Structure 1
Amino acid sequence: MDSIIFDLDGTLWDPIESVLEAWNKTIIDHEGLKQGITRKHLAGTMGLQMKEIGKKLFPELNEEEREQLLKDLSRREIPHLSKNGGQLYDHVEKILEKLSEKYKLFIVSNCQDGYIEAFYEYHGLDRHFIDYENPGRTGLSKGENIKLIIDRNQLKDPVYIGDTEGDRKAAKDAGIPFVYASYGFGKVESYDYRIQSFDELLNIF
């Protein structure tokens, strides 16, 4: 193995409380919505792309209204995360530092453009990662973005670490092993490796 590609939400951090704070300020100002969303609502969308999140959380809006709302949410969310961050899982910074001494590290997340940069800006972890990708920049699926990272960086033997069934499928689509982060948001039945905490990565790698 020469490299590790990470999912972000549910794998490296839990951003929900910070995102909720930003989103609900926008949602309550929207004429077509009666109330804000909760942690349970948002947790159920982890791993989805923004359009899918919009359909799941705001079915009462038409497509045009949802698209505008998602743009408004992103405009508020990215600066908020840059200034307030999210909750890193235990020992993430220490383990990333150790892993980066031996492996090339990357992030592929189903997020909007600017989201990974906000994670980097607040937590200062960009120094550990060589490259990253997301559908906000490429318009591609997670599996296709993993392949893009592999090809762009000429990786020979990577693995993907994530917490949802979508992450497992993306790793399969890219033809690489999948490490299931069971402490995250999703439930996955099939995987190559399983970790119950982030520091368990050192037992695998």
Structure 2
Amino acid sequence: MDSIIFDLDGTLWDPIDTVLIAWNHILKQSNQAKKEVTREDFTSTMGLQIQEIGTKLFPHLDERAQEELLEECCALENVYLEEHGGHLYENVESVLAVLSQRYKLYIVSNCQDGYIEAFYKYHKLEKYFLDYENPGRTGLSKGENIQLIVERNNLNKPVYVGDTDGDLKASKFAKIPFVYIEYGFGQTSEYDYSIKRFDELLNIF
């Protein structure tokens, strides 16, 4: 193994409390939204791409209206995350510091453009990662973005670390092993390795 590619939400951090403030600020001002969103609403969308989130949270709106509302929410979300960050899981930075000395580290997340940059800016973790990708920049699926990272960085034996069944499917698509984070937002019954705490990665790698 020469590299580790990480999911972000439910793997490295929990951003939901900050994101809720941003989204509900927009939704309160919108005549399109029927109600504010809750933590449970957001948790149910983790691992989905932005179009799927729109369909799930705002089914009463047509596709164009969903897209416009999501653009507003995501733009303010990036601003709030840059300013306030999210909840970084225990031992994330100390483990990344160790792993980055042994392996090449990357992030692939189903998020909008600017989201990973906001994560980097607030938590000062960019120094541990060599590259990142998301559908907000490429328009590709998570599996395709993993492949893009692998090809762009000439990786030989990467693994993917994530917390949802979608992460498992993306790993399978990219034909690389999957490490399941049990403390995250999703569930899956199939994986190559599983961990209950982030620092358990040091036992695998």
So what's the TM-score if we normalise by structure 2? Answer: 0.99
CA contact (8 A) 1:182 1:195 kept: yes
Q: What is the aligned partner in structure 1 of residue 128 from structure 2?
A: 128
User: Gaps (5+ residues) in structure 2?
Assistant: none
**RMSD of aligned C-alpha atoms?**
0.5
Unaligned runs of 5+ residues in structure 1 are none
Aligned to 1:171: 171
Q: In the alignment, is the contact (CA less than 8 A) between 1:28 and 1:34 conserved in 2?
A: no
Taking the TM superposition and a 5 Å limit, the aligned residue runs for 1:36-185 are 36-185=36-185
State the Cα deviation string for residues 7-62 of structure 1 (Å, max 9, x = none). 00000000000000110000111112232010000000001111110100010111
Q: Distance in 1 between matches of 2:123 and 2:140?
A: 26
Percent identity, aligned pairs only? 62
Offset, 1:64: 1.4
> What letter is aligned with 1:96?
L
SS state at 2:102 partner: coil
Per the alignment, residue 17 of structure 2 pairs with: 17
What stretches of structure 1 move > 3 A for 4+ residues in a row? none
Question: TM-score, normalised on structure 1?
Answer: 0.99
Quick check: 1:201 aligned with 2:195? no
* Mean Cα deviation higher: 61-70 or 139-148: 61-70
Q: Could you give the per-residue CA deviations for residues 135-186 of structure 1, whole angstroms, max 9, x where no partner exists?
A: 0000000000000000000000000000000000000000000000010000
Question: For each residue in 1:54-74, what CA deviation from the matched residue of structure 2 results, as whole angstroms up to 9, or x when unmatched?
Answer: 100010111111111011011
Q: Distance in 1 between the 2:126 and 2:173 partners? A: 26
State the match for 2:186 in structure 1. Answer: 186
* 1:102 shift after superposition: 0.3
- The amino acid of 2:177's aligned partner reads P
1:124 to partner: Cα distance? 0.3
Name the CA distance, whole Å, in 2 between partners of 1:149 and 1:86. Answer: 25
Aligned partner of 2:54: which letter? G
Question: Partner letter of residue 168 of structure 1?
Answer: L
User: Partner letter of residue 168 of structure 2?
Assistant: R
Residues of 1 paired with 2:193 and 2:57: CA distance? 32
How many residue pairs were aligned?
A: 205
